[in-house]
Amino acid sequence: MQSTPTSPSSSATPSVEMPLLSEPVSADSGSVEDLEAALQYRFANRELLVLALTHSSISHERSSIIHDPEASEPQRVDNERLEFLGDSIVGMVAAEAVYRRYPGLPEGDLTRLRGSLVSRRHLAEVAQGLDLGRYLLLGRGEERSGGRTKTALLANAMEAVIGALYLDAGLEAVRRLIEDRAIAPVVATLHAQLSVGGGMGDFKSALQEILQSQKRGQPVYRTTGESGPDHRKRFFVEVRAGAEALAEGEGRTRKHAEQDAARRAIEKLNVAEQAE
């Protein structure tokens, strides 16, 4: 992983974002102002945020190549360079967070924790929490193939937004975003999974093992509701152990909602165990 610079540089700001300001931000009219509200930050250079939302498919389809006379190669107007920067930043912030939180953990466990926090699946879930897919600029082909809900595309866009925020506001602002959205909600549960075994981030398997160790049987998941139009559907799922309702979760798919319910159930069980 590349080292992360300690402060933003104005010279690092891309010189190719301006033509995109006339583009619609998304198919269902999400505005950058709405996304800024979700991020709780107003960009000084909003073109950086628009660039972070611009997938390479729109550049390929529209052949929007801008030639920089000082560059050896033409530059494409997309978020891939910001994604590269954001990847380095989120890895560094996650590594520091687990290092400081768990001073007794050996290197191998720290690596597993960091890996779960920066995984494609987890970053895509963070992006879903911001409704990031709504704001993406996609080419027609990517739009038709469901690009707004693709795990890899959402994770990449999340990294690009992190890179854009770093360039616009600096490391402390981006650390707060990563901590609030990607680390604090899940790190305690992921840490608990280290002693359970299995795949970290697979909360359903972890909950099953916890309940079995407590001789409480198998967890049972039940869909309790759904809301929203088809392209922005949210599912609600309850998980039970016998007659006891442990927790309810939500997500863009039933699978995501079940994982969220399992995560919340593990957190509840951990709190109860600590209180005893």
Q: Do 14-183 and 188-275 fold alike per CATH?
A: no
Domain positions in the chain:
14-183, 188-275
Instruction: Decide which of 3 and 140 is more confident.
Output: 140
Tell me the three state secondary structure of residue 45.
coil
Phi, psi of 198 (to 5 degrees): 80, -170
Give CA–CA dist 239/259, Å, rounded: 10
Token pair recorded at residue 249: 């979760």
Q: Which of 78, 125, 159, 258 is catalytic?
A: 159
Record the pTM: 0.70
The yes-or-no answer on residue 87 being catalytic is yes
Confidence band for 75, pLDDT divided at 50, 70 and 90: low
Report, at the CATH architecture level, how domain 188-275 is classified: 2-Layer Sandwich (3.30)
Q: Taking 60 as the threshold, does the pLDDT of residue 206 lie above it?
A: yes
Give CA–CA dist 203/189, Å, rounded: 8
Mean pLDDT of 21-29: 39
CA end-to-end span of the chain: 42
Mean pLDDT of 200-217: 85
Mean pLDDT of 137-164: 94
**Percent of the chain beyond pLDDT 90?**
54
CB atoms within 10 A of CB 255: 13
Give CA–CA dist 50/52, Å, rounded: 5
Mean pLDDT of 77-88: 96
Burial category of 100 from C-beta neighbours within 10 Å (exposed 0-12, middle 13-18, buried 19 and up): exposed
What pLDDT is stored for residue 63 in this prediction?
Answer: 52
- pLDDT tens-digit series, residues 109-137: 999 899 999 999 899 999 999 999 999 99
Q: Taking 80 as the threshold, does the pLDDT of residue 70 lie above it?
A: no
Cβ–Cβ under 8 Å, residues 246 and 265: yes
Q: Which of 47, 87, 142, 168 is catalytic?
A: 87
Cβ–Cβ under 8 Å, residues 213 and 193: no
Report how far Cα 46 is from the mean position of its chain's Cα atoms: 21
Confidence band for 51, pLDDT divided at 50, 70 and 90: very high
Q: Which of 15-19, 83-87, 110-114, 181-185 has the lowest mean pLDDT?
A: 15-19
CA angle centred on 128, ends 178 and 259, rounded to 5°: 95
What pLDDT is stored for residue 190 in this prediction?
Answer: 87
The yes-or-no answer on residue 159 being catalytic is yes
Burial category of 115 from C-beta neighbours within 10 Å (exposed 0-12, middle 13-18, buried 19 and up): middle
Mean pLDDT of 205-225: 90
| Average pLDDT score over the chain | 83
Give CA–CA dist 87/11, Å, rounded: 20
Instruction: Decide which of 65 and 136 is more confident.
Output: 136
Cβ–Cβ under 8 Å, residues 82 and 51: yes
What pLDDT is stored for residue 58 in this prediction?
Answer: 84
What pLDDT is stored for residue 93 in this prediction?
Answer: 98
Tell me the three state secondary structure of residue 276.
coil
What pLDDT is stored for residue 269 in this prediction?
Answer: 86
Please give the CATH number for the structural domain made up of 14-183: 1.10.1520.10
Q: Taking 60 as the threshold, does the pLDDT of residue 22 lie above it?
A: no
What pLDDT is stored for residue 179 in this prediction?
Answer: 97
